[in-house]
Amino acid sequence: MPDQPVTLITGTRKGIGKYLSEYYVAKGHAVIGCSRDAVDWSLEGYTHLRADVTDEKAVVQLFATIRHKYGRLHNLINNAGIANMNHTLLTPMSTVRDIVGTNVFGTFLFCREGAKLMSKALYGRIVNFTTVATPLKLEGEAVYAASKAAVKSLTEVMAREFASYHITVNAVGPTPVPTDLIRSVPRSKMERLLQRQAIVRYGEMEDISNVIDFFLSPQSGFVTGQNIYLGGV
């Protein structure tokens, strides 16, 4: 491992992605972030690339840019994700496409292109995002929970496919963290959800980065295909 890790994080415009960008810049990483839109913040050590994570051509171009500028990629954090609380009977197909597109197709594309870049160096760390909504079988989140179940499955299979390149693929499944993603969910519903965790509280950003730190660690080369749910779910 060279001195400065190169870390790509998706969905960095706000929320957890923005926090992780600041966190890993502070830890000395060269952080590349991406989102569909420009960010309204800037940070030394952070480079923003605009891309729709579901657009194959745009994603391939993004990785070509990274290859030219940095030559390699150590860490990929697939944070970009969308949720939409809705009863199945009230969920339009366009919402299903959006959620599956960003959460599944986006994660797949970044894993595929990221692993291509990492494979040359025979080193890489990929961290995907799952959710406790899947094991908790949350009503109103059928599509979101299913899309993240797919991400868990991708994580487990890719871990095996990429193992010979010394690329690990793991996932973290956060509990609700006070971000935009859950802003529209009624408070009573959130309380009921928290009650189903072993540790009854909202997640903190630091809870997530703690798990990611473990997965990204060069010492975690024997840890792959794993998913860690927070809060004891």
Partner 1 sequence: MKDRIRSLIYRAMEHQNALRTEPLDASRGVETHLFGEGGQLDSMGLVSLIVSVEEEVESEFGVNLILASDRAMSGRRSPFATVGALADYVESLMGEGAKNA
Nearest partner of 170 among 105, 46, 73, 77, judged by Cα? 77
Single out the residue of 1, 57, 183, 219 in contact with partner 1 (rule: CB under 8 A). 57
Contact between 60 and partner 1 by CB under 8 A: the answer reads: yes
Please check whether residue 9 is in contact with residue 24, taking contact to mean a CB–CB distance below 8 angstroms.
Answer: yes
Alpha carbon of 153 to those of 54, 71, 131, 157: distances in Å?
A: 19, 30, 13, 6
Provide the minimum distance between the beta carbon of 47 and partner 1 in the complex, in angstroms, as a whole number: 19
Contact between 166 and partner 1 by CB under 8 A: the answer reads: no
Contact between 164 and partner 1 by CB under 8 A: the answer reads: yes
Structure tokens at 190: 């959130």
The two beta strands, 30-35 and 75-78, are unpaired
Contact between 119 and partner 1 by CB under 8 A: the answer reads: yes
Contact between 120 and partner 1 by CB under 8 A: the answer reads: yes
Site stretch for partner 1 (CB under 8 A), options 1-9, 45-53, 115-123, 201-209: 115-123
Which residue number, 27 or 116, has a Cβ lying nearer to partner 1? Answer: 116
Contact between 61 and partner 1 by CB under 8 A: the answer reads: yes
Alpha carbon of 57 to those of 52, 54, 69, 101: distances in Å?
A: 10, 9, 18, 14
Which residue number, 58 or 185, has a Cβ lying nearer to partner 1? Answer: 58
Nearest-angstrom CA–CA distance, 122 and 68: 18
Instruction: Give the torsion through C-alpha atoms of 54, 60, 62, 64, to 10 deg.
Output: 170
Which residue number, 14 or 67, has a Cβ lying nearer to partner 1? Answer: 67
User: Given the rule CB under 8 A, which residues bind partner 1?
Assistant: 56-57, 60-61, 64, 67, 116, 119-120, 122, 164
